[in-house]
Amino acid sequence: MLSEKTIQTIKSTVPVLEVHGTAITKKFYELLFANHPELLNIFNHANQKQGKQQTALANAVYAAAQHIDKLEAILPVVKQIAHKHRSLGVRAEHYPIVGEHLLAAIQEVLGKAANAEILRAWGEAYNVIADVFISVEADMYKQSQEQYGGWAEFRPFRVARKVKESDVITSFYLVPQDGGAIAAFKPGQYISVNIQIPDDPHTHIRQYSLSDASGKPYYRISVKREDSIQGHPAGKVSVFLHEQVKEGDVLAISAPAGDFTLEQQDAKPVVLISGGVGLTPMISMLNTLAKTDSSRPVTFIHAAQHGDMHAMREHVEELALEHPQLSVYWCYAKPTDRDRVLNSFHKEGLIDFPWLTSVVGTKESSFYFCGPIPFMKAVNEILKEWGVRETNIHYEFFGPASTL
């Protein structure tokens, strides 16, 4: 337990963290990778370059300082991050290294303002928070390894099939190289893929949502090829998977992880809303609902640029024919002439309040959504404006956690 003096000292730094938090975390990563370049095998380099990881860590540190006297308030966030850590292979021995460099970054950025008392308090607080993470993650590793078909860290899987779903999305069907059983998963969870690209000194780990229901003899991921656009470099791993990985190749993957999952015991109608490749966890949820619950009303809404970029459309429409309780809607921002001739979409442009509330039967539904951050912000604002209860709103970020 932290002393009252330590708690008050930490709380006194909240205004400073609000101003300098990202500068501290930027310096932290610079120091960390300079002294421990081996950790570049764990971290996403693209998120580092774009500043996403620095911002996410700054938000986490800020939240910890705000709630240092009631750390149970941030336990849901701890569990969310712990899922990521377990899927990446983060271990207890990494935490002292992180703590050392975080304190060094605080001292370097704040200078004389980071006096001995503040550094002592943050050192003490970090150890308490690290112990929580270590304990939660140890339980997750144990559960992952001991479950039927489970394993710890990474296991080799063979690409049994590679299927092009749209102009930009390709699915990979993965089966265990050892021929053994594979762990069940909850709809909405993801796996980490550990890639060694030829002539690259570092391995690269990426998380991809599982895009099918559990209980199959394979895991399926559906990957969007991230090409260079508007100054952002191409996605190194996604391009490698699309261009270089072929059927028969072997990939190292983690056991399923993640806390963005369908509440299957919930009896309320469910609304699944996706944008772009954000449809992957939604397809997993939809396939699970179609397999296990024939009575629960489901509304499936997918937004894409146009029909050529719309993955798995035929599959979803076939499910709608088989399940009368499933309603399906397509929203195209820039439909092609072919889309117009075929009358293949329900709304042109972006999802908005009048349209969404008209196609969803009731705001007393459970809403799940995923996609690009601007898309998710727009959906979240609509649901808030409609008066949907916060407990009925569920969403997932691809990449470091952010806020809507």
What is the per-residue pLDDT for 75? 78
Q: Which two tokens stand for residue 208?
A: 């991809």
Say how many C-beta atoms besides its own lie within 10 A of residue 63's C-beta: 15
- The answer to whether residues 241 and 202 touch, using CB atoms and an 8 Å cutoff, is no
Last residue of a domain, one of 146, 166, 189: 146
Verify that 69 and 195 share a domain, yes or no: no
Show the beta-strand stretches assigned E in 112-189: 154-164, 169-176
Verify that 276 and 320 share a domain, yes or no: yes
Last residue of a domain, one of 87, 119, 146: 146
* Confidence check: pLDDT of 105 > 80: yes
* Confidence check: pLDDT of 125 > 70: yes
What is the per-residue pLDDT for 400? 59
Show the beta-strand stretches assigned E in 211-365: 219-224, 250-254, 270-275, 298-304, 326-332, 347-348
Q: How confident is the model at residue 256 (pLDDT cuts 50, 70, 90)?
A: very high
Verify that 92 and 211 share a domain, yes or no: no
What's the maximum distance between 2 C-alpha atoms anywhere in the chain? 71
* Confidence check: pLDDT of 159 > 90: yes
* Confidence check: pLDDT of 401 > 70: no
* Confidence check: pLDDT of 403 > 70: no
**Among 95, 126, 329, 368, which one carries the catalytic annotation?**
95
What is the per-residue pLDDT for 335? 96
Question: What average pLDDT does this structure show over 188-213?
Answer: 95
200/172: higher pLDDT: 172
- Among 129, 206, 118, CA closest to 400: 206
CA distances from 301 to 114, 223, 251, 350, 357 (A): 50, 20, 32, 12, 12
Structural domain contains residue 262: no
Verify that 71 and 160 share a domain, yes or no: no
Structural domain contains residue 260: no
Query: pLDDT tens, 160-169?
Result: 999 999 999 9
- The answer to whether residues 338 and 307 touch, using CB atoms and an 8 Å cutoff, is yes
Q: Where are the alpha helices (DSSP H) in 157-220?
A: none
Interatomic CA distance for residues 353 and 338, integer angstroms: 27
Cβ contacts of 93 within 8 Å, gap of 6 or more = none
Q: How confident is the model at residue 290 (pLDDT cuts 50, 70, 90)?
A: very high
Structural domain contains residue 42: yes
Known binding-site residue numbers: 85, 190, 206-209, 276-281, 397-400
* Confidence check: pLDDT of 309 > 80: yes
Known binding-site residue numbers for FAD: 190, 206-209, 397-400
- The answer to whether residues 121 and 11 touch, using CB atoms and an 8 Å cutoff, is no
Looking at residue 13, which CATH number applies to its domain?
1.10.490.10
What residue numbers bound the domain in which 42 lies? 4-146
Question: What average pLDDT does this structure show over 289-318?
Answer: 94
Structural domain contains residue 210: yes
**Among 38, 108, 137, 146, which one carries the catalytic annotation?**
137
Verify that 231 and 281 share a domain, yes or no: no
Question: What average pLDDT does this structure show over 245-249?
Answer: 98
- The answer to whether residues 66 and 18 touch, using CB atoms and an 8 Å cutoff, is no
Verify that 245 and 277 share a domain, yes or no: no
pTM beyond cutoff 0.85: yes
Verify that 221 and 283 share a domain, yes or no: no
* Confidence check: pLDDT of 311 > 80: yes
What is the per-residue pLDDT for 363? 96
Distance of CA 65 to the CA centre of its chain: 24
Query: pLDDT tens, 319-354?
Result: 999 999 999 999 999 999 999 999 999 999 999 999
CA distances from 21 to 8, 62, 118, 392, 399 (A): 18, 7, 15, 31, 19
Verify that 122 and 180 share a domain, yes or no: no
Measure the CA dihedral 221/227/233/235, to 10°.
20
Q: Which two tokens stand for residue 271?
A: 């609304």
The total number of structural domains in the chain stands at 3
Structural domain contains residue 201: yes
- Among 305, 289, 84, 38, CA closest to 191: 84
Looking at residue 274, which CATH number applies to its domain?
3.40.50.80
- The answer to whether residues 233 and 244 touch, using CB atoms and an 8 Å cutoff, is no
* Confidence check: pLDDT of 101 > 90: yes
Q: How confident is the model at residue 119 (pLDDT cuts 50, 70, 90)?
A: very high
Q: How confident is the model at residue 71 (pLDDT cuts 50, 70, 90)?
A: confident
Looking at residue 231, which CATH number applies to its domain?
2.40.30.10
Name the CA radius of gyration of the chain, rounded: 22
Structural domain contains residue 365: yes
Question: What average pLDDT does this structure show over 83-105?
Answer: 94
Say how many C-beta atoms besides its own lie within 10 A of residue 212's C-beta: 22
* Confidence check: pLDDT of 238 > 90: yes
Known binding-site residue numbers for heme b: 85
Among this protein's residues, is 137 annotated catalytic? yes
pLDDT > 90 in the chain, percent = 73
What is the per-residue pLDDT for 279? 96
Verify that 315 and 384 share a domain, yes or no: yes
* Confidence check: pLDDT of 374 > 70: yes
- Among 148, 154, 144, CA closest to 83: 144
Verify that 68 and 123 share a domain, yes or no: yes
Interatomic CA distance for residues 394 and 119, integer angstroms: 37
Last residue of a domain, one of 146, 162, 192: 146
* Confidence check: pLDDT of 404 > 70: no
Verify that 166 and 243 share a domain, yes or no: yes
209/13: higher pLDDT: 209
Phi first, then psi: give them for residue 230, nearest 5 degrees.
50, 50
Among this protein's residues, is 368 annotated catalytic? no
Known binding-site residue numbers for NADP(+): 276-281
What is the per-residue pLDDT for 117? 93
Say how many C-beta atoms besides its own lie within 10 A of residue 384's C-beta: 12
Q: Where are the alpha helices (DSSP H) in 67-115?
A: 75-88, 94-110
What is the per-residue pLDDT for 250? 98
Specify burial of residue 330 (Cβ count, 10 A radius: 0-12, 13-18, 19+).
Answer: buried
Q: How confident is the model at residue 399 (pLDDT cuts 50, 70, 90)?
A: low
* Confidence check: pLDDT of 392 > 90: yes
